Amino acid sequence: MTKAVILGTGSFLPDRILTNAELEQMVETSDEWIRTRTGIGARHIAGSHEPLYKVAAQAGKRALDAAGLAPEDVDLLILATVSPHMIMPSTACFVQAELGTVNAFAYDISAACAGFLFGVDMASKYIAAQPDMKVLVIGAENLSTRINWQDRNTCVLFGDGAGAAVLSGAEGERGILDSRLYTDGRLWHLLYTEGPPSMNKDLQLPGWKGPFIQMNGAELFKNAVRLMEGAVKKLLAAHHLTISDIDLMLPHQANIRIINNLRERLAVPEDKVFINLDRCGNTSSASIPIAMDEVAREGRLHPGDLVLMCTFGAGLAWGALLLRW
């Protein structure tokens, strides 16, 4: 049966690293608090020369190079982001221009931290209909541009970066096996970023808090563990698989305590879970593709390995995906 296989991966992290020690100078916090409550030690922050489309394009270029493809070979470019370069046009179109993927059509999707899995799911469905299609899926965020740097509840958590994968159809066992995606818009208020106020005064929202991330961390924490656990269990059960069949788990990198809670509930051994949260913080839609690229380049993935990805974020949007590497 034809499946969408990953031909190459890439990632990009801006050079500038913001440490917990620097954050101690900016808000009332401590390295000890941040590490014990979140597992984060540092995060990368984009500079003025690194607008989102450039960060995304760097990751996309590395994925194309790894796949041995030219930009002109790409038929579709999907960019997952919640920190777009502009409201209009899509950041995907800026990435297209930057990369030179002139034969592709390009668009953005918005599913916060779940964005990359939503993008890969979409790509695999295009590929099922047209197996020779080459789809570049990028998860990219400059969340540093959406943070209130005086708000210690959020400013310690997020980082910038991008990850990407090129997919196309192939016969055989390898590829995207399945994914389970969910949203619950009733819980939107747990994590959101308002845009600029409406130019129509009649439609302005009361009590505008600025274009910054607003978060109810404790409620998100509980939902994250519960919902990812449910998504993973349903996905495995649908394929008559158990956790012992999984070779590597790539969870969304939001908080080490969320990951450990989930790992314990699912009984996943610690050495089967990849963590880069300590170096990257929460990069939202970029978190899973950055992790995937890092494990691929470290040689931790072998042909035939079963990889489980699971994610959770604003929307609420969440899901799980199974990939035979």
The residues that are catalytic are 113, 252, 282
Residue 304: C-alpha distances to residues 65, 177, 288 (Å): 22, 12, 19
Residue 2 Cβ vs ligand ACO, minimum distance, rounded to whole Å = 32
Q: Which is nearer to ligand ACO, 150 or 244 (CB)?
A: 150
Length of the chain: 325
91-99 and 52-67 helices, crossing angle to 10°: 50
Residue 253 in contact with residue 275, Cβ under 8 Å? yes
CB neighbours of residue 84 within 10 Å: 21
CA–CA distance, 34 with 24 (Å, rounded to integer) = 10
Which residue, 44, 105, 124, 119, is CA-closest to 289?
119
Among positions 313, 320, 322, 323, the unique one binding ligand ACO when judged by CB under 6 A: 313
Among positions 58, 96, 124, 255, the unique one binding ligand ACO when judged by CB under 6 A: 255
Binding mask 146-175 for ligand ACO (x = CB under 6 A): ------xx--x-------------------
Q: Which two tokens stand for residue 256?
A: 């080490």
Among positions 80, 136, 254, 292, the unique one binding ligand ACO when judged by CB under 6 A: 254
Q: Does 226 bind ligand ACO (CB under 6 A)?
A: no
CA–CA distance, 128 with 80 (Å, rounded to integer) = 20
Q: Does 38 bind ligand ACO (CB under 6 A)?
A: yes
Classify the C-alpha dihedral 88-91-97-98 as positive or negative.
positive
Among positions 2, 29, 148, 260, the unique one binding ligand ACO when judged by CB under 6 A: 29
**What phi, psi does 166 have (nearest 5°)?**
-105, 130
> Tokens 């003025």 identify what position?
48
Q: Does 40 bind ligand ACO (CB under 6 A)?
A: no
The CB-nearest residue to ligand ACO is: 313
Q: Does 37 bind ligand ACO (CB under 6 A)?
A: yes
Stretch in the footprint of ligand ACO (CB under 6 A) among 34-42, 60-68, 123-131, 260-268: 34-42
Residue 143 Cβ vs ligand ACO, minimum distance, rounded to whole Å = 7
Q: Does 113 bind ligand ACO (CB under 6 A)?
A: yes
CA–CA distance, 254 with 252 (Å, rounded to integer) = 6
Residue 27 Cβ vs ligand ACO, minimum distance, rounded to whole Å = 7
Residues within the interface to ligand ACO (CB under 6 A): 29, 33-34, 37-38, 112-113, 152-153, 156, 191, 215, 217-218, 220-221, 224, 254-255, 282, 284, 313-314
